[in-house]
A and B are shown apart, each in its own frame.
Chain A
């Protein structure tokens, strides 16, 4: 499976945007890029996914580099509730999502 690399931790001021990076230099052409987040004491929840084009939904935006070797999850206006571990995951159809260590996002009031 292609692996992803994320910073262990990041901080963001409340009500400011935050950009969470993910490197996936060994991504294959059929790999989708998924983002999940895990709030404290909860199971992970889906955030967004994409293949080649940038994607937007009510939670976040996903910016995918033209060569697809990296992507960025953008939270446009963070709240305290966005404090969580964010996982960037690649999947190419074996239907088993492999979670890494993710990025622990801390929101500063």
Chain B
């Protein structure tokens, strides 16, 4: 059973608000990832981290930012939400390099910006 948690599961918010999506894992994994997925579409990597104080941009450009101050937490922040940010955001972690280790995903945070 994967021990990776995302909050909130669902969020409806107005344009211009600042939001933070939380992601926590209790497996001690060094590597963490954020993917964005629109309904029925592909997952796109937007951020990843190799460990504390490490953050990298993913393959899809995103206006969101991330931080990695503690191993277990990898929050994603949108300073000013817009309707174009409406999507599902999925957090994942892995212990080894993903060549041999599996990714564990959270259940996702579904964001709707009005």
Question: Which residues of A are in contact with B by a Cβ distance under 8 Å?
Answer: 30, 32, 34, 36, 41-46, 49, 91-93, 95-101
Contacts and interface: CB of A to CB of B under 8 A. Distances in A.
Contacts of B74: none
Q: Chain A interface secondary structure, helix, strand, loop or mixed?
A: loop
B45 A44 contact: no
Contacts of A34: 98, 102
By secondary structure, the B interface counts as loop
Contact of A98 (B45, B100, B106): B45
B44 to A, nearest CB: 8
A49 B106 contact: no
Contacts, number: 58
A96 B48 CA distance: 8
B19 interface: no
B42 A45 contact: no
Interface of B: 2, 31, 33, 35, 41-45, 48, 50, 58-59, 90, 92, 94, 97-100, 102-108
Contact of A97 (B50, B98, B100, B107): B98
Contact of B43 (A42, A44, A49): A44
Contacts of A32: 99-100
A61 B105 CA distance: 22
A36 B108 contact: no
Contacts of B98: 34, 91, 95-97
Nearest to B4: A43
B3 to A, nearest CB: 13
Listed from nearest, the 4 A-B pairs whose CB atoms lie closest are A43-B105, A46-B102, A99-B43, A43-B90
Given A95-B31, A96-B45, A101-B42, A42 B107 contact: yes
Nearest to B45: A96
A83 B99 CA distance: 26
Contact of A91 (B31, B44, B48, B99): B99
B45 A93 contact: no
